Chains A and B, each alone.
Chain A
Amino acid sequence: MLTHLPILQVIVPLLAAPLCIFLRRPPLVWLFTLIVSSLAFVISILLLQQVMASGTIVYELGGWDAPWGIEYRIDALNAFLLLIITAISTVVLLAAQTSISKEIPKEKHMLFYTLYLLSLTGMLGIVATGDAFNVFVFLEISSLSAYALIALGKDRRALWASFQYLIMGTIGATFILIGIGLMYQMTGTLNMEDLSTRLPEVAQTRTVFVSFAFVIVGICLKLALFPLHLWLPNAYTYAPSIVTAFFAATATKVAIYLLIRFSFSVFGLSFSFTTLPLQILFMVLGLSGIFVASIAAIYQTNIKTLFAYSSIAQIGYMIVGFSVSTVTGLTATLLHVFNHALMKGALFLALGAVMYRIGSVQLSQFQGLGRQMPLTMAAIVIGGLSLIGVPLTVGFVSKWYLLMALIEQGWWPVAVLIVLGSLLAVVYVWRLVEIAYFKPQLVGKESVKEAPLSFLIPIWILVMANIYFGIDTRLSVQVAQAAAQSLFGVSP
């Protein structure tokens, strides 16, 4: 059983997805989905334990040897990501039934859960597999289900947002496929491990350059790196609240994983950072992303859009960490992947609760909510503090590592810019706080009550995690460091 964990991680939600259709009754389907997701979560914990104890796990599908058959490889990085995805998925699902009861027509509930599980499968598959073409397959599974999930949104603009995302996502996936195809043409293999040994032999060819460029651009599109971020705000704004919470906390993280996997493992560090001036390129794009998106966030009146823009800014921080290309820098990126999942999960779930109670997340509707929904608003404030990077929250830990990485390299102007970027976060969080706590409640909204427990429990699990991992950093830092070190080939 234990030896089959890597495949179980992916296959359980995959097989469970169609079963949802047969269960039909929404509460039942919800419970079933929740159990499946929890199961995946348990598997990911076991995997992480195994990896940390005894190193990389290799699993050959159907018993075929590696270069011919498909191989699943789980090292510290994969296990870390698997843990994040399954944990967030499970916590978010706790609130799902309550939330979608107001946002999605009842007859579509089972479809929602089917799609949700498929999307989860896709993300887990991307992370678990050690085969480049398999990545594309799972990417399509997760993307196609994501388009449908977003289109389920109550607002009719959801369709349009989903359509845009579909176009962009498809282009991204196609680019990745083209890149993989070119790699295959040059090396005759699709296995990542195999690719990494064979690519250096043909590294100085145009074809490999082109393949690298296509893969990187495709991934950048998926992770919404500035200026390829235009699809994200609308998709997050109009999707159902649960979907936004799930995707904001996981989807872009998977793309970050791909970026790291392809540039560090497949193409190799020296190739990736010499072919393209990736360091300066990502530094500039990351920083512009931080500033452009943060400033855009300040001017939003829809809070979901506001935090969607803030997500783009946070991706900027991850990319800046990546661009430093040192162990500390990569540790900072991975930490921020983990931490950002916690904060955005909490924030978007809390917004889901607000949506559930008042049916809107327009800034003006937040007037007086500080008194009417104190626990939900407190969660948003703590999540916001974490976004800013206040000590005792997770946001501080990853910013700290990022700044250390930058100062280590002597790039202190960049460090100053990062701190300034955090101040922008103060502004957009403050706008919300000011309205919620300092304005009297709206006329006709006197009866608004605190969110139900089914919301409060998952929200506060995430908020507590925000604080807990901000103080006890052992788990996150250890795993992130181990992952970063193994990518750089340093023995821990």
Chain B
Amino acid sequence: MTPMGAALKGVLMMWMLEIPPFVPFFIGALIAIFTRGALRGAIMLATPILSGLHLWGMPEGIHLQFAFLDYQLLPYRVDKLSLIFGYVFHIAALIAIVYSLHVRDTMQQVASMLYAGSGLGAVFAGDLLTLFIFWECLAFTSVFLIWARRTEKSYAAGLRYLITHVLSGVILLVGALFYVAEHDTLKFDYIGLDGIAGWLIFIAFGVKCAFPMAHNWLTDAYPEATVTGTVFLSAFTTKVAVYALARGYPGTELLIYIGAAMTCFPIFFAVIENDLRRVLAYSLINQVGFMVVGIGIGTALALNGAISHAFNDVIFKGLLFMSMGAVLHMTGRINGSDLGGLYKTMPKTTVLCIIGAASISAFPLFSGFVSKSMVMSAALENGHDWIWLMLLFASAGVFHHAGIKIPYFAFFAHDSGIRANDPPNNMVLAMTIAAGLCIAIGIYPSALYSLLPYDTGYNPYDATHVLAQTQLLFFSALAFVWLNLKGKYPPELRSTNLDFDWIYRRAVPNVLQKTFSIIWKVDGALRKGFLVRLDRCLDFIAQKNGGISNLLSRTYPAGSMVMWVAVILAAYLFLSFIR
């Protein structure tokens, strides 16, 4: 570091106390409630900048400690792993805030600040209880970004999203509880899969990380959120989960298989999906899959790959969501079948979207390339050949649906006749920043590498990597062109594609309903028969003695209460006598 930089750092440390990064965001949100218009925008912009500067001056170590009950709480632990997520969350927050500067909606703006703050709180949490608190905060703040669309559909999707995440939090809490019982500490470090605590926490992380079959909240809710809300959402929730997995479960073999599944299955859904933001939601799962594989392999190279890929993914996935958001914002449509030919009137958005698409597809000289190849190399180095092949297939698939399909159907394809202009300046600026970062990281990866937790001396730009990746991209592009020319490419249709959530949102309830209706019928018949008999009995007794029927009919609630008293007393007496 230059003397200049060191001096600046020193000054920063002097006037900055040890404030965890979530604090400025929460304060910013509070001020945002009481301000309006441009002032609010300025405050929201200033928050990530100031907080980011502060974080940059922060040395590693544990900065805050509290005693709670009998345990130490560490709400602010700074090490390389949490720092890199802290940096990228600040960048993402800044970009997303610039992107949403035109929004005038208190609920959405405040929620987004709180949400970003919660994400930061979670990655700097040094103990499981603090983590749990921010885990739930993430759920409760982000859901407002979905509800802010203010449609029936978004309300329902938001509620499903909220339930899933609250449940994940509860599982985390129970896991933490067992963890305390087993280890007598709440510190959040390597956890591992031995013991019930490890599994519970693993499941909690997995739900937030969109593991297969627990992924539906993501594809369900993200496309229903507001234009700007989705940009925020794509940055934080799943990345917090990736961070948590990298902290608690590096080198867990199970993660390799889960991750590989995550990279592959969304491709099929993404190819047939019509809503372009939902396509991106599927590709988000696919990208997270690469990170999960990296964490599962657990070597220094693999972890570096996973983390740097998370870093890049926040930016390029943000860029793609922003460009699709821009399309939705300007045209009011987002289905591939309704769009096309927009490049004529939205040239800037088109170019920026293509940069994002190139990054996610891992073109050399774009950011995706420098991180994804690390995970793939690590898979190969550790003898996971089949996994490597799956990842290769997934890479081709990504290029297909995110790299080509998104820009092609939105901006080219058949001309839909829509003549929408480029979006407002702030949106273009936000996308430009993101695109600039994508290219900068792609060209000069060592800046990113220096932030990573391990030093592996990895160089992405050697002949094998570049050649292999270029070939892959070239051939999948060829496949797309060929399929399209032959008319065999799945056309963009208005349809609802069934995913796994159909099982628990339709199939299971239907089966249950049917079963129960049968049970009710049988039960009803039985009861009727029984009641008739009982009535006869009662009538018979009533004839003999009117008093008894009166007693049995139990019309007096006080009487039934007293009966319970008698029952309980009798039971107690009986139990104490048989001893």
Contact = CB atoms under 8 A, between A and B. Distances in A.
A408 B180 CA distance: 11
Given A209-B573, A276-B576, A419-B174, A400 B560 contact: no
Given A390-B136, A404-B181, A230 B564 contact: yes
B558 A213 contact: no
Contact of A164 (B129, B557, B569, B577): B557
Contacts of B196: 412
Interface string B145-185: 00000000001000000000010001001100110110000
Given A209-B573, A217-B565, A426-B166, A473 B177 contact: no
B567 to A, nearest CB: 8
A407 interface: yes
A473 B576 contact: no
A206 B577 CA distance: 7
B565 A221 contact: yes
Given A167-B561, A214-B569, A230-B561, 14 more contacts: A164-B558, A167-B558, A171-B565, A209-B576, A209-B577, A213-B573, A228-B564, A274-B579, A281-B575, A397-B69, A412-B178, A412-B196, A415-B174, A438-B155
B568 A227 contact: yes
A457 interface: no
Contacts of A164: 557-558, 561
Interface in A79-96: none
Interface of B: 68-69, 129, 132-133, 136, 155, 166, 170, 173-174, 177-178, 180-181, 196, 557-558, 560-562, 564-565, 568-569, 572-573, 575-577, 579
A277 B579 CA distance: 9
Contact of A213 (B155, B173, B557, B569): B569
Contacts of A210: 573, 576
Nearest to B174: A419
Contacts of A167: 558, 561-562
A277 B568 contact: no
B572 A276 contact: yes
B133 A391 contact: yes
Nearest to B577: A209
A416 B572 CA distance: 28
Nearest to B573: A213
Contacts of B129: 391
Nearest to B147: A438
Contact of B177 (A216, A221, A403): A403
A217 B576 CA distance: 13
A217 B564 contact: no
Contacts of A230: 557, 560-561, 564
Contacts of B577: 206, 209
A7 to B, nearest CB: 34
A400 B174 CA distance: 10
A59 interface: no
Nearest to A418: B174
Contacts of B177: 400, 403-404, 407, 415
B136 A400 contact: no
A469 interface: no
A197 interface: no
B537 to A, nearest CB: 26
A477 B170 contact: no
B190 to A, nearest CB: 22
A476 B366 CA distance: 58
A221 B155 CA distance: 44
A168 interface: yes
B37 to A, nearest CB: 22
Interface string A260-282: 00000000000000111100010
Given A228-B568, A403-B177, A416-B174, A275 B579 contact: yes
Contacts of B573: 209-210, 213
Contacts of A412: 178, 196
**Residue in B129, B166, B558 with the greatest tally of chain A CB atoms within 10 Å:** B558
